[in-house]
Structure 1
Amino acid sequence: MRSKINHYDAATPRKSAPRGARQCHTEGVKRSIPTEAADRQPALTRAEARVQLYARQDPLAFATSTAVEIAEASSTSDATVARTARKLGFHGVREWKRVCADSVDSTLGLDALLRVRLDNLSKAKSVKSSGGLARQVLASSAEALLALAEILESSALDHGVDELVNARRVLVYGLGAAYHVAEYLSLALERVGVDARAVTGSGHTLADAIPRLRSDDVSIVLAPRLLFPDIVWYAAESAQRCAATILVTTEPAPERLRQSTITLRLPSTAQVVADDTILTLALADVFVAAIARQEPNRSLATRQAVQMFRDRIYSGQRCDSR
């Protein structure tokens, strides 16, 4: 059960941080909350002000709650929640929740993220068995994938696919779990006729990875959850050295990367049970399908060559077993 907000100052704006941010406390961690359109301070009713205050006081709870739960926590109605979102300049409650989720993603460690997801599971009445758990996790994954389809910017995606189709070589960079997605994507790209390599590295090992970047390379940088300093540094070097750099992340790109990379934003997974890895894998499949559609002959010829070798290997194994 979520605690309700304090109402005594609900209609009175708090002392604010520098323009573009609000300071809130969630689980003892100070967070800077971007308000975007909310900075315009539209005239709100007392009920609407309570909804806005709830988002400021506890952005994580706001991002992981339904409209009905937000209404209950702010002693309003779900219609008031939707109306407040529109007044603040958001397209809807979902966009407002995404902004709040983006603001807390970078402060959530792996343990805190797991606690949030376990809390979301505990609220689901259907999770009483492994089967119920499976349905909830899979439904959450489907919800995250639909959110990806909604926010994926078509022009940026088209630009990225065009660069990949014409690339002499593609380098796919990832750290940690993202490196395994980079391996998957590089293999999938090779199977549609694109010369691709998976690369990783942090700290001093980047000194070995950076010189390998060539001017005719296209670089994909996978940072599905956080833009660590090493990732930002690699992406900045890649943007200077390569023909094109595609950045995949949930976070807004830093100013120095905003103009120099093709940025594809992923939806935050802080408010769902699904892991962000599934979104990165899905986007990898989108890249491959788009390339195959643009270059069907090359893609089919490459697949046929791979299948021919598979058949020969399998045939040889059957002969040896006799």
Structure 2
Amino acid sequence: MWPQQTPSLTPGEQAVERFARDEPLKFATLTGAEIAARTETSDATVARTAQKLGFANVREMKACCASRVQEQADLQHVLQTRLEALRTHGTEDDGPSGESRTMTSVLTAAAGLVLGAESSIHWPAAAEAAAAIAAAPRAFIYGLGTAYCFAQYAELEFARIGIVSRGITGSGHTNAHAVFQIDAADAVLVLAPRVIFADVHRFIEAAARKGARVFVIAQASLPPQLHELGVLHLRMPSSGGGAATEAVPTVSLIDALVAEIATLQPERALDARAQAQAYRDEFSR
């Protein structure tokens, strides 16, 4: 979250802060050295500015800028940004040419997002999420809009390793009913890969207040009040300004959680797979 009051900054630090405010997308997607070059400062000044503004490091400040862009972006703007990224990539001399260039550019960008998850995700929190889901009597997976498609995929994959799970979506009274059914012993996985909308925020907060373990997969930073409630953040790399969407890294992280849960309770996972296969065989006759 961007500080409400700007602390005392040197002229160089003011240049970095102004660049982040005026060009949040560029700030989020440039390296520290590139930001220093754009603002005519130094890497040390960029790092010092981030700390003075209350961020742990430059990466956290960049993530905040990315979330600001995503909060403001509607679907049309998202597509426009992707098309611009593809046009920029199309001016490069290397790589494939012709009809395949657009598709290979998207695949390359998607692979970059997956690889970027290695550094963006706090892996102890991911391991804690896997352990909590494995031990909970039920797992609820919440997603709004496109994220509900990811929630349905997670529900299917969790069920196939023996996890009693339920994919849920909605807002208003639908969310109220969903939270009503959640118990303190349950685990809740919230998928908000691009934006944490107000309805999603309210659902997270209400589920956490009931005592359930809540884990959020999101690019955007979590508000402090959610951290105070014990909500853990699995931060995805920013897809802002790129040719690929957040879909591939989100599904990849779900697959990673499924694999980790299966290793924690392999007998249950294998038994569930055997039962699922038995029903497949029966209905294939």
Normalised TM-score (structure 2): 0.83
Q: Which runs of structure 2 are paired with 1:1-322 in the superposition (5 Å)? A: 20=3, 39=7, 41=9, 44=12, 53-64=18-29, 82=43, 84-88=45-49, 97-124=62-89, 125-126=91-92, 129-260=98-229, 261-314=231-284, 316=285
Aligned partners of 1:254, 1:67: CA distance in 2, in Å? 24
Unaligned runs of 5+ in 2: none
Distance of 1:69 and 1:144 partners within structure 2: 20
The separation in 2 between residues aligned to 1:215 and 1:99, in whole angstroms, is 31
Question: How far did residue 286 of structure 1 move?
Answer: 1.3
Letter in 1 for 2:268: R
Report which of the two has the higher share of helix. Answer: 2
Q: Tell me: higher relative CO, structure 1 or 2? Use CA pairs within 8 A at least 6 residues apart.
A: 2
Q: Distance in 2 between matches of 1:71 and 1:297?
A: 53
SS of 1:264's partner is strand
Label 1:85 to 1:182 Cα distance change in 2 as closer, same or farther (>3 A): same
Q: CA deviation at 1:138?
A: 0.8
Q: Tell me the amino acid that sits aligned with residue 141 of structure 1.
A: A
Measure the CA separation in 1 of the matches of 2:282 and 2:114: 38
Corresponding residue pairs, total = 275
CA distance in 1, matches of 2:126, 2:136: 15
Contact 1:193 1:299 in 2 (8 A): yes
User: 4+ residue stretches of structure 1 with deviation over 4 A?
Assistant: 48-53, 64-74, 80-84, 89-97
* Inter-CA distance 73–88: structure 2 relative to 1 (3 Å threshold): closer
In 2: Cα distance, 1:85 partner to 1:275 partner: 28
* Higher mean C-alpha deviation, range 184-193 or range 250-259: 250-259
Q: Which has the larger radius of gyration?
A: 1
- Code of the aligned partner of 2:162: G
Change beyond 3 A, Cα 1:93–1:115: farther
What is the root-mean-square deviation in Å for CA atoms of aligned residues? 2.9
Contact 1:145–1:279 (8 Å) recurs in 2: yes
Residue 101 of structure 2 aligns with an amino acid whose one-letter code is: G
Give yes or no for contact 2:50–2:58 (8 Å, CA) kept in 1.
Answer: no
Cα distance, 1:55–1:219 mapped onto 2, change above 3 Å: closer
Identical amino acids, percent of aligned pairs: 31
